């Protein structure tokens, strides 16, 4: 029987995932090949190191992990770089500390998500206000800028699930990760014995081609997000079944095109980190 992950293992897996995402070419995002959107790799590195402790802290609830990690990240980086990562990784981190891995991470995750309460919602809403992500508008119910209401975090996510893939992850028990992204990542990385950076690039492009990025949707509208999705699909021959060194020039052109237009598929990057994090927790003895 494989034991629950320790705080040190969870922290290491989180940092591993954050760094793996930064090392790979991911068109439209910040990575070691190219800065962008007024941000550099160091901003994300600083934020990841700051967030890792709270994310893995066994004494904290999901909401408190999100709040403390966001506070630390914004203080370290000077801007919001990883709110989506924190929102997605905090519940997985708690689940990893509470399950034996022969039982299953996702099963425990579902129980944790269903038990999220009003304090988790209040803490998460505070974290979102601190991070102040771009493109946040007003909604009638569950608005993070409104006075507190009696709403659990899962209920708040249910209200946003149709317009936001991170909220949808809470409602679907991370279907995008466990049903789509993890199988692709494992097939590419382990089946083809690829370099990790090319596996992450492939994962990024597969997610970008499958789901309209909701960060782009919030800022530019659904038509623009759908166009980016279609562009990723057109490039499929260059990254499927997996990206290689020969893929880099065309993907770098796509990267430059997106950044020139100010299009940052940030939600896609959040799911890349979360997928690598989950894989590291499930499959890797040392990271």
Q: What is the pLDDT of residues 274-284, one digit of tens each?
A: 999 999 999 86
pTM: predicted TM-score of the whole model, two decimal places: 0.93
Q: What is the mean pLDDT of residues 218-237?
A: 97
Percent above pLDDT 90 for the chain: 83
pLDDT band at 232 (very low <50, low <70, confident <90, very high): very high
Dist. CA 164–CA 28, nearest whole Å: 19
For each of the domains in the chain, give its residue range(s) and CATH number, in order of start.
7-283 (1.10.4200.10)
Place of tokens 């759908």: 226
Residues 157-206 have pLDDT tens digits of: 999 999 999 999 999 999 999 999 999 999 998 766 678 999 999 999 99
- Do 94 and 62 meet the contact criterion of CB atoms below 8 Å apart? yes
Whether 16 has a pLDDT exceeding 50, the answer reads: yes
């Amino acid at each position: 029987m494989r034991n629950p992950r320790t705080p040190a293992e969870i922290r290491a897996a989180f940092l591993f995932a954050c760094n793996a995402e930064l090392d790979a070419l991911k068109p439209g995002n910040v990575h070691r090949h190219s800065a962008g959107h007024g941000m550099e790799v160091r901003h994300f590195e600083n934020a990841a190191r700051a967030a890792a402790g709270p994310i893995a802290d066994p004494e904290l609830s999901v909401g408190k992990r999100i709040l403390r990690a966001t506070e630390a990240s914004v203080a370290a980086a000077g801007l919001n770089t990883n709110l989506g990562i924190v929102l997605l990784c905090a519940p997985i981190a708690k689940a990893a500390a509470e399950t034996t891995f022969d039982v299953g991470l996702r099963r425990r995750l579902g129980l944790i998500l269903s038990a999220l309460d009003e304090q988790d919602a209040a803490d998460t809403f505070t974290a979102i206000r601190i991070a102040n992500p771009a493109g946040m508008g007003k909604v009638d119910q569950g608005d993070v800028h409104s006075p507190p209401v009696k709403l659990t975090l899962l209920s708040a996510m249910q209200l946003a699930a149709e317009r936001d893939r991170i909220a949808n992850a809470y409602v679907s028990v991370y279907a995008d990760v466990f049903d789509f992204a993890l199988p692709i990542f494992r097939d590419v990385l382990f089946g083809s014995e690829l370099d990790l950076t090319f596996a992450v690039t492939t994962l990024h492009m597969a997610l970008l081609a499958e789901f309209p990025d909701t960060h782009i949707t919030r800022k530019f509208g659904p038509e623009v997000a759908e166009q980016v999705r279609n562009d990723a699909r057109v490039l499929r021959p260059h990254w499927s079944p997996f990206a290689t060194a020969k893929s880099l020039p065309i993907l770098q052109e796509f990267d430059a095109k997106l950044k020139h237009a100010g299009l940052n598929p940030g939600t896609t990057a959040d799911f890349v980190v979360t997928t690598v994090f989950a894989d590291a927790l499930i499959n890797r003895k040392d990271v």
